[in-house]
């Protein structure tokens, strides 16, 4: 009888290094939400940003379906990481799970989020101040990190707090 090998490694410095690199390179993410109309998962591509002290967040228009879904249920996940040439599954990626609510446009922290977002997405300067656009900071509860073949890690809230500093 052969023992099955657990493919998930204990979280270590390599995991934090990989996850930190993915966060620092974040420009876009796949956003998964609960579609209240169909009761099926809904995935969208969003402009995302990571900033030390602010965490991971994305911008969205109130007109989008995913924003309307988040208004009813803030549970979401973000998939970060872009494949390169060759086998896309050989590249690192992380799924971050948590909850979000739209930040009010008159929130005292909005200017800090705006500055970080525009630094990552310079062309957003054209639309980010429209009244229907808002920021969605994500309160993370867990992460699933795949650093490439044979490099799987599960990140809990303590790991995420360490990662986000």
Per-residue confidence in pLDDT tens, the chain, 165 aa: 444 677 888 999 999 999 999 999 999 999 999 998 899 999 999 999 999 999 999 999 999 999 999 999 999 999 999 888 888 888 999 999 999 999 999 999 999 999 999 999 999 999 999 999 999 999 999 999 999 888 899 999 999 999 987
Structure tokens at 65: 């379906």
CA–CA separation, 154 vs 48, rounded Å? 22
Nearest residue to 29 via CA among 9, 44, 7: 44
Domain segments of the chain: what residues? 8-164
Whether domain 8-164 has CATH 1.10.10.10: the reply is no
- Under 8 Å between Cβ of 144 and 1: no
pTM listed for this prediction: 0.92
Structure tokens at 128: 């980010």
Report strand pairing: 8-9 vs 152-155: parallel
């Amino acid at each position: 009888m052969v023992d099955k090998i657990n493919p998930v490694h204990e979280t270590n410095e390599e995991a934090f290094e990989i996850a930190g690199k993915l966060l620092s390179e974040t420009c876009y993410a796949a956003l998964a939400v609960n579609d209240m109309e169909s009761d099926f998962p809904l995935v969208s591509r969003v402009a995302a940003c990571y900033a030390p002290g602010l965490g991971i967040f994305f911008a969205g228009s109130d007109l989008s379906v995913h924003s309307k879904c988040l208004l009813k249920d803030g549970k979401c996940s973000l998939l970060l990481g872009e494949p390169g040439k060759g086998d896309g599954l050989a590249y690192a990626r992380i799924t971050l799970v948590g909850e979000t609510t739209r930040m009010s446009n008159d929130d005292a922290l909005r200017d800090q989020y705006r500055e970080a977002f525009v630094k990552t997405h310079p062309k957003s300067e054209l639309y980010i101040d429209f009244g229907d656009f808002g920021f969605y900071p994500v309160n993370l509860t867990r992460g699933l990190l795949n650093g490439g073949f044979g490099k799987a890690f599960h990140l809990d809230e303590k790991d995420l707090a360490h990662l986000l500093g």
